[in-house]
A = this chain, B = another copy of it.
Amino acid sequence: MDINVSNKAIEEATEKLSNWGRWGAEDQIGTLNTIEPSDIVNAGSLIRKGRSFGLGIPLDTKIQTGLFGGRWNPIHTFLATGTDAYAGNQADNGLQYADDAINMPIQGSTHWDSLNHVYYKDKMYNGYDCRLVDSKGGAKNGIEHTREKMVGRGVLLDVARFKGVKHLEDGYGISNDDLDACAAAQGVEIRKGDFVIIRTGQQEKCLKSGDWTGYAGGDAPGVKFENCYWLKGKDIAAICADTWGCEVRPNETTEVNQPWHWVVIPAIGITMGEMFYLKELAADCAEDGVYEFFFCAPPLNLPGGTGSPINPQAIK
């Protein structure tokens, strides 16, 4: 496709691709509706080796570098420790134990974005008013509605390996043709209701170097704006990547920030997974040539949440 990315292109894509009302006026989960029970049963049959891959990056990775939105790196503190136990401070017929706590932005590490995370012209997916998300929570489209829905067939599209590189360069826009060619080369078909996971290799570059500058909000490889048409055409359940925001940065326009987001969340209603850790899964897929698997990535049951931290499981 040859799209001049702009406010106009966003408006046009929004009109053409909208799923508002497709699953009823009350729907709050969007494209997760594309998954049929039979898809889940079929996906179960992809469990052949009995190995699960955890796709959550360690929460102590210092990803956030201050570029966007006041997000911080997860803070892990202890309410009780083994040193307290050792010191004899828990001796009063009590348990010797440790307790801890986590304080983190939802979008601070590997996570789902839910359908109340991004708006277009003051509206959420399915037409809900954006004012329904305030400091007290998100009254509509919160992540809790997906709490039993993140199960089905997963497919890895290892674009970096397909292109023969360790990682795509920052600013490289993955085209729809790239995705189709990658799937063909991998011998895997994209089907309605799939969880599609794109590997750019960018995260592994950061993991290797230890340098996360720019990862969270700077330049990155990612899908081009045209990808919104691909998503809708394939009718997939969710789109995931190993980058901060799935789409290419710098964006293809300076008119708006993150143009693809403006369409895919509010109009299409697709759940998005970001910062997936893919190294070992990708190596395994390259080795056995099997790029499909059972996928299970339950969000925390956080009412009103704009998403959830996750540790997705790809089970082969």
Which residues of A are interface residues toward B (Cβ below 8 A)? 36-41, 43-54, 56-60, 62, 66, 69-89, 93-108, 110, 116-122, 124, 129-138, 144, 147-151, 254-258, 261-262, 277, 294, 296-307, 309-313, 315
Contacts and interface: CB of A to CB of B under 8 A. Distances in A.
Copies held by the complex: 4
Contacts of A43: 47
- Looking at A49, A102, A277, the one whose CB has the most chain B CB atoms below 10 A away is A102
Contacts of A129: 82, 86
9 contacts: A52-B151, A58-B302, A70-B136, A83-B134, A86-B122, A98-B116, A100-B105, A151-B313, A297-B298
A47 B44 contact: yes
Contact of A120 (B96, B135, B151): B96
A103 B102 contact: yes
B78 A51 contact: no
Nearest to A77: B77
A105 B101 contact: yes
Contacts of A75: 72
Contacts of A106: 99-102
A82 B50 contact: no
B70 A79 contact: yes
Nearest to A43: B47
A130 B301 contact: no
B257 A94 contact: yes
A257 B86 contact: no
Contacts of A45: 44-45
B311 A138 contact: no
Given A132-B82, A300-B309, A312-B298, A148 B98 contact: no
